[in-house]
Amino acid sequence: MRRGEYSARSITELYLERIEQIDRSGPALNSVIEVNPDALVMADRLDEERRGGRTRGPLHGIPLLIKDNIDTADRMSTTAGSLALQGSTARTDAFVMQKLREAGAVILGKTNLSEWANFRSTRSTSGWSARGGQTLNPYALDRNPCGSSSGSGAAVAANLCAAAIGTETEGSIICPCSTNGIVGIKPTVGLVGRSGIIPIAHSQDTAGPMARTVGDAAALLSAMAGLDPRDRITNQGAGKAQRDYTRFLDPDSMRGARIGVARNYFGFHDRVDVLMEEAIEVMKELGAVLVDSRGKYEGSGFEVLLYEFKDGINKYLASVSDDVAVHSLCELIRFNEFHSEEEMPYFGQEIFHTALEKGDLSNPDYVNALHKVQRLSREEGIDATLRGRRLDAIVAPSAGPACLTDWINGDHFMGGSSAPAARAGYPSITVPAGFVHGLPVGISFFSKAYHEPVLIGLAHAYESATRHRRPPAFLPTVDFG
């Protein structure tokens, strides 16, 4: 664009054409739930600014896709993939959207997701929503893209956008990025404002960038971070957010770094273990010191999620417009029962029922559970391991190769390491680490709160030395030949 070879409009047109060719027809990934009818208008406006000598930064005119649980104050709906919110348009942008618009991004559309961010059933299938259908994995179309940011992961991998925004409560950025062979950053909770994002749990929820390179993810994180006046937790990050995370993209970042190897997250797949051992050798060659570690990094946090979901979803639904069908968790449950053929053809809503039975956030059971999970994951978990072994970061396999999409039995993941950082509210980043039978596998780097600069440096150094990512071939199934 600087050289005049492309414009925001021409790039946006190319992406819209590719969405039509690959997502709507061809392999029909089904990763984009809605295209922004005003995308080209946005692009034209940004091109006019560039011609006038004004550029807002590295995202000026760059087309992005946004997960469909993030409010956009435009003609697109925000539904979390549910028919109950069909046609729900936000009155105001989510904080993340405000930041991206200010940075000059072109909003291409919304991505499909695991309905209600995968917090409806214990037997759910990732990447499926009643509104959007099933998102496919672009590396093998019968394989699952993982969730809940399934559409964002598949769309970035398939080059349907320059980058995308996902959200995570526990694994919903890290797993789809690993499974779709891309980079994902799950920021420290409090670095990125959550106002206007359909919630699961305020102690763990965050939005984050999903991109094809660490550099692109760092540029996107730079635009997203900041104080959100509608999200008090961002006050904890005052003065800790970096204006430009791309300045930490140093290929020599491994030299002298001490990295813990979380061996207790190995062993669920022999070929994944081989990839991790190869990654460890690369890090040693780059000058890092690798230290085996088997620390326990988390306690069970599901009880916390149930309480916080009930509180958060009732507040969000109470705020939507009057013409939307539901305004509480109770009404949502009744809607799904009444529309069970469309909403529950494969799995139910037992998590909704369990959450509905919980009390409010003053309940001692909730308070004690939250204190326990944060103590075990933070001071007695990640913090203790980093301090005791004098580590800069910890590494582990992000997830296994993609499982088959199975609407009868639901997801069947083998293993992964997203839980420690998620429950602590600490940052993690996943980077492609290789392939198992043509299916991508990622490696995760995680550390203590607000150590995104350290993780970005380490991840970039590893990525620069390995360059494992390769574009998907949209195979109908795994090629064992």
Report the relative pairing of strands 106-111 and 63-67 from DSSP bridges. Answer: parallel
Across 152-295, the runs of DSSP E, i.e. the strands, are 163-168, 183-186, 206-211, 258-262, 289-293
31, 67, 124, 129: the active-site residue: 67
Answer yes or no: are the C-beta atoms of 225 and 450 closer than 8 Å. no
172, 253, 293, 417: the active-site residue: 172
DSSP state of 328: S
Question: What percent of the chain is helix, strand and coil (3-state, nearest 5)?
Answer: 40, 15, 45
| Helix (H) or strand (E) segment spanning residue 393 | strand 393-397
Answer yes or no: are the C-beta atoms of 124 and 118 closer than 8 Å. yes
Q: Within 13 Å and on the Cβ side, how many CA atoms surround 91? A: 7
71: phi > 0 → left, psi -120 to 50 → alpha, else beta; which? beta
Provide the 3-class DSSP secondary structure of residue 12. helix
88, 148, 222, 428: the active-site residue: 148
CA distance 400 to 397: 8
Q: What are phi and psi of 262, to 5 degrees?
A: -80, 85
Residue 172 annotated among the catalytic residues of the structure: yes
Residue 67 annotated among the catalytic residues of the structure: yes
Enumerate the active-site residues. 67, 148, 172
